[in-house]
Structure 1
Amino acid sequence: MRTRGVSTLIHYEIERLRREHPYTMLVNHFHDHYEIYYLLSGKRKYFIQDRVYAMQEGDLVFIDKHTLHKTLDADDRPHERILINFEEHWIAAKGDDTYAIAFTPFHEKQYIFSLSGANRTLIENLLFSLLREKQLEQQGWELNSKALLTQLLIFCTRLMDQLSPVEEQPQGYNPKIFEIVTYINEYFNERLTLALISEKFHISPSYFCRSFKDTTGFSFVEYLNNLRIREAQRLLRETKLKVIHIAEQAGFDSVAHFGRVFKQVTSQTPLECRKMMHLGL
């Protein structure tokens, strides 16, 4: 499932969707492929890593691999977006450094660009061409789609020095919650409980839970589990540690609890996940 933190075979997908009613993503969201989100119309709030950004039509979002993110309602009006998901090897052969520059927008932590005028027209034309290629799937559509997507990425790389990044939601929105999020991001693999957070930051548990959900779109436990599972996936991918040690290093108090949460978030067991990673799936 692409809506959870899981390794999947997506290669390349593009979708245009209009929603007439308020919509907030209901599930956790990080993945091992790249994502581009373009807001055609309406307004959205976008939680990325540890901040909330206010989006307007014409905003383009680049989400790097393994980056926690979630879209939320900004108001009750309709919105329309285009979403692209793709794996690196879909446009760049393994070991080919020629394409490295094309991935710059994902790695610079300038997540969102506001486009206008000729820049917006060019990007929308590229996106609409990509949509048509995928819809019609005529001879050579995949090759042409790779060329169009590469052109979009290079154009945005060149734009980075010219455009100002979208400002994050004003800190007055809830600076205390952002302070807590920063703390959780740093100490997620230690013992963290609602009582501990409430005491450390002098905030009532009920107010903290409500404000955390309103600000980030995640519950405290949901957010903490995502960080821990993401770290567990990294350890499964990059080390040969046993599952029991990975559970401990990721911050879980028992391997049984780790297994339940891992399955809930990724729809896999840790061993199934490691096997898929080693097979290159």
Structure 2
Amino acid sequence: MIEPMIRYEIERFRRDRPYTMPANHFHDHYEIYYLLSGKRYYFIQDRSYFIQEGDLVFIDRNKLHKTLDADIAAHERILVSFNDRWLHDLSQPSKELALAAFRDKQRIFSLKGANRMFAENVLFTLLREQQHKQIGWELSSQALLTQLLVFCTRLIDSQEATDEQPQASHPKIFEIVAYINEHYQTRLSLATISDKFHISPSYFCRSFKVTTGFSFVEYLNSVRVREAQRLLRETKMKVIDIAEQAGFESVAHFGRVFKQVTSQTPMACRKMTRV
């Protein structure tokens, strides 16, 4: 099986203008997002979180996610990305412990005082290792990242992680998102959703976009394509059967949407997972 292109990356970036992440954003690697300054909304899977400076966000593999502007557009963040290959030297029990923050329902850590100083020191050291790439920088980075992951696992164990509080401005939208995640295999349309949840189509479209950062169609297609990717990787099902099981009305429509979301065909995706 061909490994994903990314093994490990870290970057620091500042924006002074409004910015929303591109649509259809999910991938087969882990991400740690640290907000150095500013305020953001972070939509992950089926909830939206309000994050501020000092917040550390964990995004598991293949989770739909997107950052959106809050009341202040200017912000600065550090983003760490890595896949399982980067932690290949760890035993399975150690890897499960290190990745606990991605599995736990509390994805946000609001760091203060000594905890914030520790996390920032690790992240800034990781940035320097990436920048200078002196001898042994990969080994040093693996050790530092593992240290950060264990640190957050201990925060979970000590119940110091932030309580999971989704953005509450449009509670019905989160109800609809959960419904889409559960019923994506069925025929879903703007009309059927509006009728089922007693909400006008125009209000639903506006509220869904504001709350999640996705349009209704973008989100639905992303959920369906993500499931199709899983089936392509993990089963030997025919593409036509995968298209149907993922909720697409035809294999032709499936192929068009799949390529639009992933920039590759379903067969190319399947070949990447084969020896």
TM-score (norm 2): 0.95
Matched, 1:181 2:177: yes
Paired residues of 1:114 and 1:166 also in contact (CA < 8 A): no
Letter paired with 1:176: K
SS of 1:124's partner is helix
Query: Aligned partners of 1:218, 1:80: CA distance in 2, in Å?
Result: 23
Query: Aligned partners of 1:269, 1:94: CA distance in 2, in Å?
Result: 34
Letter paired with 1:206: S
Paired residues of 1:43 and 1:75 also in contact (CA < 8 A): yes
Which of residues 24, 32, 46 in structure 2 aligns to 1:28?
Answer: 24
SS of 1:16's partner is strand
Instruction: Give the corresponding residue for 2:166.
Output: 169
Letter paired with 1:100: E
Paired residues of 1:29 and 1:69 also in contact (CA < 8 A): yes
Instruction: Give the corresponding residue for 1:99.
Output: 95
Residues 150-184 of structure 1: CA distance to partner in whole angstroms, max 9, x if unpaired? 0000111011133142443343x011111111111
Q: Paired residues, what number?
A: 272
Instruction: Give the corresponding residue for 1:222.
Output: 218
Q: Structure 2 vs 1, CA of residues 23 and 208 (structure 1 numbering), >3 Å: closer, same or farther?
A: same
Matched, 1:153 2:149: yes
Instruction: Give the corresponding residue for 2:245.
Output: 249
Which of residues 138, 151, 173 in structure 1 aligns to 2:134?
Answer: 138
Query: Aligned partners of 2:167, 2:93: CA distance in 1, in Å?
Result: 38
SS of 2:273's partner is helix
Instruction: Give the corresponding residue for 2:265.
Output: 269
Letter paired with 2:112: S
Q: Structure 2 vs 1, CA of residues 170 and 10 (structure 1 numbering), >3 Å: closer, same or farther?
A: closer
Over the residues paired in the alignment, what is the CA RMSD in angstroms?
A: 1.4
Residues 225-267 of structure 1: CA distance to partner in whole angstroms, max 9, x if unpaired? 0000000011111110000000000000000000000000001
Paired residues of 1:16 and 1:80 also in contact (CA < 8 A): yes
Matched, 1:121 2:117: yes
Letter paired with 1:278: R
**Residue 202 of structure 1, CA deviation:** 1.1
Matched, 1:39 2:41: no
Q: Which runs of 5+ in 1 are unaligned?
A: 1-6
SS of 2:99's partner is helix
Q: Structure 2 vs 1, CA of residues 47 and 122 (structure 1 numbering), >3 Å: closer, same or farther?
A: same
Instruction: Give the corresponding residue for 1:213.
Output: 209
Q: Which runs of 5+ in 2 are unaligned?
A: none
Query: Aligned partners of 1:53, 1:88: CA distance in 2, in Å?
Result: 26
Which of residues 174, 186, 194 in structure 1 aligns to 2:190?
Answer: 194
Moved more, 222-231 or 158-167: 158-167
Paired residues of 2:39 and 2:72 also in contact (CA < 8 A): no
Matched, 1:232 2:225: no
**Residue 8 of structure 1, CA deviation:** 4.1
